[in-house]
Structures are given as C-alpha cells and as structure tokens.
Amino acid sequence: MDKPLFKIRSIILLGAFWALSAAAFSQQTASPFDIIPRLPQSDSPDSVITISASSNPFDIYQIDAQSLAQPSGYTPQFQVERKRKPLSVKEKTALYQRFLIITVLTVIAVMTIVITIFRIFIAKIWKAFLNDNILSQLLREQGAGVTIGYLILYLIFFINAGIFAFLALKHFDINLPVSNSNVLGLLLCIGGVGLFYSVKHILLSIVSYVFPIDKEVGRYSFTVMVFNIVAGIFLAPVILFVAYSSEGISGGVIKLTILALLGVMLFRGLRGLFIANRFFAWHKFHFFLYLCAVELAPLLVTFKLLDVL
C-alpha cells in the first residue's frame, strides 16, 4: 500500500472516530432504559421506614429520624422499627459450647508450648513450692528483677484462674455485669484476678519501701508468685475436665478445686508467718494492720471495681 493512500484512509478513520465520540458525549436526552430510584435518597444513618397513606398504597418514603421531615401531601400512618430477634435457649447453649471449645483449645495449646519451653524452670518452681530452702535459693538466683519466665507463667496463672472463676460462676448461676457476652465475662474474670494480685504486689512494694523490712517483704512477694504459678499450672487440666464433664461431676470438681486453692492459700500463709516470725512476736498490732491493708484491701477493691463495671 502506497503512503498517500494510507494517509487518506487514516484521516478518514480518525474523522469517523471523532464524529462518533462527539455524538456520544453531546447526547443529553434521557434514555428510556434509565432506572430512576423511587425512594428519596438520604445520607443520614439514623432513619426509619415509614408507610404513608397515598394514592399508591405500596409507596415507601424514608424519613429522617432527627428532623421528622415528611413529604408534602402525605401523612404517615405508622412507623416500622427493625428489632433484633432474641436468641433462644438452644441457640445460647450452642453459642456457649462453641465459646468453650475455642477457649479450652487455646488453653491447651498455650500450656503445651509453655511447659515445653520452661519445663526445667517449672521443675525448679515445684521444688521451691515444697521446700522453703529451695525457694530461698531460687530467689537468690533470680536476683533483683523478675525474669521473663516468671512473668509468662504468672500471666498463665491469671488466665487459668480467670477461666476457672468464669466456669464456677456459670455453674453456681452467678450473673456477671456483662452476662450477655461470654467473651466480656471471661475477660472480666481474668482482669479481676490480675487486678487483685497486681494491687497486692504494689502494696507489698510500698510496705517494703516505707519500712525497713524489704528483704522479708520481697521474699514473701516471691512466695506468692511461686505458689500462684503452681496453682495456675494445675488449673489447666481442671478447666478441661470441668468444661466437658457432666453437670454433677463438674460441680464436685469445682468444689474440690476451691477447697484445694484454699489449702494452697493456707499453706502460703504459714510460709509467710515463718518469714515474719520475728516481727509477729513483738509487733502484733502492726501485723494486724498489714493483714487489713495488704491481704484484705486488694480483695475489697477488686470486688468494688467489678461491681461498678
């Protein structure tokens, strides 16, 4: 093809394309196939659907709930409100069972990883739980600060104790302030346990700073941590058994576990008396003030905050 003919055909093709484009963009008439919405558009999220009496009984108008502006010529007869259907007992039970499955599987997975990583460290803590001399040796090995292993195991205790408290409250039909949500109820129990012992350790730090008994208070605070770590580890199989046993068996296990935890606290109290024996003989009144300020006050503060929530 020669060049003059190619140029002529190119000019003709470009001219035809320009003409079609100009005709398409310059078309202003409405297409008979255009779909025009019948309902008035509203940007307000707070709106309700109102059925009004008009010539067409099927007309639906959207009215702003803030201004209650109504279309001219129409009188609304009634408003339709969308309400959430409450869950049935069967649906609540199924939802609770799914929640238990996820919670227990998470606890088992976390405990498997933690025990695998810290198995030698956990063995030392168990020996310190049984023997006060080994506890003193472990305290000297720890040094001035708390290592990451203690913090992780202590966090495991907060989680397991919170889950056990949640299951126990469910068993005894004690409603929490957020009883309509299993997740919030569980977080509230875990937060309550963590808050109680956090306040306790803070108060012990204040006592050791104010009075010249920092060594004894530090040893007792470490004793509380060791005993709670042991309790948190043994609560893991209890949670699994309570979650998937029958109602009668789980109730008996919960009561036995509560008695066992009370026994651990009593054993810890005896170890604490052994630590503070030289102060208890000559300062009974100050020891009574300590019991009120450090042992009872965190419990009362935790219950009060949970009640407010």
pLDDT, tens digit (0-9, with 9 covering 90-100), for 185-210 = 899 999 989 988 998 899 888 888 87
The whole-number average pLDDT for the span 147-158 is: 90
Total residues belonging to the chain: 309
Q: Does residue 306 carry a pLDDT above 80?
A: no
Structure tokens at 194: 């963590």
pLDDT of residue 25: 43
Q: Are 169 and 242 in contact, with CB atoms under 8 Å apart?
A: no
Q: Measure Cα distances from 43 to 38, 52, 63 in Å.
A: 16, 21, 11
Q: Measure Cα distances from 157 to 11, 149, 150, 226 in Å.
A: 83, 13, 10, 10
Given pLDDT bands bounded at 50, 70 and 90, which one contains residue 72?
Answer: low
DSSP structural state of residue 173: T
Task: Name the percent of the chain lying above pLDDT 70.
Answer: 62
Q: Does residue 288 carry a pLDDT above 60?
A: yes
Q: Is the dihedral of CA 9, 14, 17, 18 positive or negative?
A: negative
Q: Does residue 151 carry a pLDDT above 80?
A: yes
Whole-structure pTM value: 0.67
pLDDT of residue 90: 74
The whole-number average pLDDT for the span 250-266 is: 92
The whole-number average pLDDT for the span 12-31 is: 48
The type of residue at 191 is G
DSSP structural state of residue 91: H
More confident residue, 44 or 193: 193
Given pLDDT bands bounded at 50, 70 and 90, which one contains residue 212?
Answer: confident
pLDDT of residue 233: 94
pLDDT of residue 113: 93
Cβ burial of 276 (10 Å; 0-12, 13-18, 19+) is: middle
Neighbours of 204 (CB within 10 A): 18
The secondary structure of the chain in percent helix, strand, coil, rounded to multiples of 5, reads 70, 5, 25
pLDDT of residue 200: 87
pLDDT of residue 47: 46
Please provide the DSSP assignment of 128-139 as one string.
Answer: HHH-HHHHHHHH
Structure tokens at 146: 């708390």
Q: Which residue has the tokens 């509203």?
A: 42
Average pLDDT, the chain: 75
More confident residue, 109 or 288: 109
> Of the given ranges (16-25, 140-149, 231-240, 283-292), which has the lowest mean pLDDT?
16-25
Given pLDDT bands bounded at 50, 70 and 90, which one contains residue 23?
Answer: very low
Q: Does residue 180 carry a pLDDT above 50?
A: yes
The whole-number average pLDDT for the span 1-23 is: 50
Q: Does residue 8 carry a pLDDT above 50?
A: yes
Task: Name the percent of the chain lying above pLDDT 90.
Answer: 26
Question: Pick from 236, 237, 225, 226: which is nearest to 200 by CA?
Answer: 225
The whole-number average pLDDT for the span 211-233 is: 89
